[in-house]
Amino acid sequence: MIVPGVRVGKWTLALTLDDFQRMHGYAVRTYVMAGVPPAADAVHDHFMFRWDRVPVTAAVFIGRKQVEFLQTGFLMPEGHLYRTDRGLAFLARRWKIVQAYGRPTAEMTPHPLEVRLIYDHLGIAFGLDMAGRAHTISIFRPGTASRFWHLL
């Protein structure tokens, strides 16, 4: 289950990067540059950590160990099996997301083929493909979305 502001499955925002590495070993680390697609709406550069056979990635700010947000996606191992606390699965349509969670705090376009719906007060964001279907879900601590994305 995906619980906004708390967890994706057994992986929680209370875990540190060291915790993830103890659980899963060393990760593939990707440097994400703010302002450049696919993170054109990002505020800060950050690192995304990915592990084989683990359905989540963990994001940390450079030089930090605290996990800032977790992300899972339809194409990740077993990621397609997760549902949100309100029953939404991957490939849910935009109208279903809005029906379940209401009007988003912000709607961003990180690159021309994606829209991000951000629910800051809940701690969840949905990445939608150009057909309006959810392909990624990110969770973060409620009220902290402006630390990651420009909420225009």
Express each pLDDT in 120-132 by its tens digit: 999 999 999 999 9
Residue 99 zone, left/alpha/beta (φ > 0; ψ -120 to 50; rest): alpha
**Structural domain that includes position 65:** 2-147
Residue 94 zone, left/alpha/beta (φ > 0; ψ -120 to 50; rest): alpha
Give pLDDT tens digits for 130-152: 999 999 999 999 999 999 998 86
Task: Please give the pLDDT value at position 94.
Answer: 97
Domain count, the chain: 1
Let me know: does 116 contact 107? Beta carbons within 8 Å: yes
* Burial class of residue 50, CB neighbours in 10 A (0-12, 13-18, 19+): middle
pTM over 0.75: yes
Give pLDDT tens digits for 8-59: 999 999 999 999 999 999 999 999 888 887 778 888 889 999 998 889 999 9
Query: Which of 71, 80, 75 is CA-nearest to residue 110?
Result: 71
Mean predicted confidence (pLDDT) in 86-92:
93
Task: Please give the pLDDT value at position 107.
Answer: 94
Identify whether 138 is part of a domain. yes
115 beta partners: 128
Identify whether 152 is part of a domain. no
Task: Please give the pLDDT value at position 33.
Answer: 87
Task: Please give the pLDDT value at position 134.
Answer: 94
Task: Please give the pLDDT value at position 83.
Answer: 93
Task: Please give the pLDDT value at position 76.
Answer: 77
